[in-house]
Amino acid sequence: MNYQLLPFRFERFNDTEYLLTNEVGEYIFLQNEDFHRFVDGKMDIHSDLFYDIESKQIATTDKVEDVVSMLATKFRTKKSILRDFTSLHMVVPTLRCNSSCIYCQVSRKNQDDYSADMTKQTAKNIVKMIFQSPSPYIKIEFQGGDPSTDFEMVKYIIEEAEWQNLFKKKIMDFVICTNLTLLNEKMVRYLKKHNCMISTSLDGPKDLHDTNRPLQHKELDHHAIFEKNLSMIRKIWGNNDCVSALMTTSKYSLGRFKDIIDEYIRLGFNSIFLRSLNPYGFAKQYKEKIAYPIEDFVENYKEGLDYIIELNKKGTFFVEGFAALLLRRILTPFATGFVDLQSPALQE
């Protein structure tokens, strides 16, 4: 053997190919005969295929120490989000909510139940703890419940954080996760003034959205209020990018990904995050009614992604967020920082 193998993972991808990956996720496909020739030490080191393998630090003709140093540089880049510890901080001012989402992941409280509201002292301690992070970037994301049910606490935390940041001098952002239905013009102008972006949920056309995300007051039309307030928010901000949205797939969403995507486009969004059901909270409690085999979601996801690709080919710019994250991880050396892909069981 005139080259040295370095640590790599491999798996038979199909009947004719093997997939090889290195420690930072770079990959190459080898035909069966090329794979066996490679591991047997019989591959031509002057071939283009070997040069491709060598560029990914899967094998080398150079000093191993130099190659490990290069791989370490790539690994540091891939894990760069860890350098400054955490920058994203999720704060739950209240568990109150005016929705009764069939898949709610938290132990939500009714809108008039104040038992799980945060106190000002707790809020002040949280902000103090957040600024102990060494990261130069701080993002505070308000979740719930629906944080807009206790908007005064949201304001208190924003203003306390801004006061602390007069001394800390960090780059700071805010996001509020809300169903939009309780926001009014005064609230939205406050959010704009303090550069607090809005994240919301849209599960699709009216019938599907209202099935998945009914309001506690059944007589109210969730989707209609959502659409009206979305228009109001964009008018105040002066652009569409101030509000981002994601969806959750229930059993009722299957077979309707095209309708869901079309509804996002109709309402002026240029991206969607096709998200499966997480087995927490009510989604677990009522899984017999709303859950589905993951294979069904994957099949629907493929159809949805194909539809999005066709839309882009026809000139409609539209992004599927999860695919974009995965492609960034696969095709670049850079970290995504996406929290849901940072489980201890997963590699960034």
pLDDT at 210: 96
> Which class is 81-341 in CATH?
alpha beta
Tell the residue number behind the tokens 């009914």, with chain if given: 214
The answer on pLDDT for 17 being more than 70 is: yes
Contact 176, 154 (CB under 8 A): yes
Q: Which residues pair with 197 in a beta bridge?
A: 175
The answer on pLDDT for 339 being more than 70 is: no
Q: Which residues pair with 244 in a beta bridge?
A: 199
Residues of the chain with CATH 3.20.20.70: 81-341
The answer on pLDDT for 197 being more than 60 is: yes
Look up residue 56 and give its two tokens: 């990914």
pLDDT at 286: 80
pLDDT at 347: 41
The answer on pLDDT for 346 being more than 60 is: no
pLDDT at 217: 87
pLDDT at 343: 54
Tell the residue number behind the tokens 């000093």, with chain if given: 63
Which of the four pLDDT bands, split at 50, 70 and 90, describes residue 342? Answer: low
Q: From 311, 293, 315, select the one nearest 303 (Cα to Cα).
A: 311
178-187, 259-268, 273-282: range with lowest mean pLDDT: 273-282
Which of the four pLDDT bands, split at 50, 70 and 90, describes residue 1? Answer: low
